[in-house]
Amino acid sequence: MPAPPIAPPDEASLHTPSSLGDLFWSFSWLALQGFGGVLAVVQRELVEKKRWMTNAQFVEDWAVAQILPGPNVVNLSLMFGGRQFGVPGAMAALAGILVLPTLGVLALAVAFGAVADLQGVQGALRGMGAVAAGLVTATGIKLMSALKTSIMGMPLCLAIVAVTFVAVAFLRVPLVWVVLGLGVLSCLWAWRCLGAQYANGRPVAAAAPATAPAPALPDPDSGQTPRT
């Protein structure tokens, strides 16, 4: 019987890496699994298994990693490691992403050179392309749940997703123009929404403290002095 799907964590149930070694080996294992579908592996390991991030946090960090130059997963490892342990954490996560996979790629390159022309090997490589496409699609669908909490609202987020897909998949717009165009517009709109939310939720100035009640005056008819 298949295991039930793991629910994404909320902020209250998040864990943190226990040490630099934990960070290094976790990112090493993550990188060694990234055969063509690294996005799916990163999301599953950091969000569902390790519970180091929520889906919303992962979407935000991955978006920043895509904007920065360089491989997305390398940028993400630097940001996450630096957030946890500062510069040593960033270096540990980066080493985990690069060291063992680099050694593995060098070994595979030597072995692949002897069998690269075999028909079976070529067919296997083409089949892996379909698997990678399926992994990326499945991960994208899972991450869409994080859009529910976006400051811009779910309908606008879905519209941006659709426009981005059409621009990249059908119109063949270069990725840099998509990021500079839709990315900048999305950032400006989100900034506007945050400003409006802050203005509407700004706490009202505290009221002046109440003054102490004036002491009661004695009643001349009763002949008694009331207590204050």
Position of tokens 């309908």? 155
Note the pLDDT tens digit of each residue in 121-145: 778 777 777 777 787 787 788 778 7
Query: Tokens representing 37?
Result: 């579908």
Q: Residue 12's pLDDT is what?
A: 66
Rounded CA-CA distance 109/119 in Å is 17
Of 47, 40, 80, residue with least CA distance to 64: 80
Torsion angles phi and psi, residue 224, rounded to 5: -115, 150
Show the 3-state SS of 134-164: HHHHHHHHHHHHHHHHCCCCHHHHHHHHHHH
The CA angle 198-200-202, to the nearest 5 degrees, is 60
Whether the CB-CB separation of 18 and 117 falls below 8 Å is answered with: no
The model's pTM is 0.62
Q: Is 48 helix (H, G, I), strand (E, B) or coil?
A: helix
Instruction: Give residue limits of the domains in the chain.
Output: 9-115+131-149, 152-199
* pLDDT tens per residue across all 228 residues of the chain: 445 555 556 666 789 999 999 999 999 998 888 765 678 889 999 999 999 999 889 988 998 898 888 888 999 999 999 999 999 999 999 999 999 988 988 888 888 877 777 888 778 777 777 777 787 787 788 778 778 878 888 889 889 989 999 999 899 999 889 988 998 899 899 888 888 888 876 543 334 444 445 555 555 555 555 554
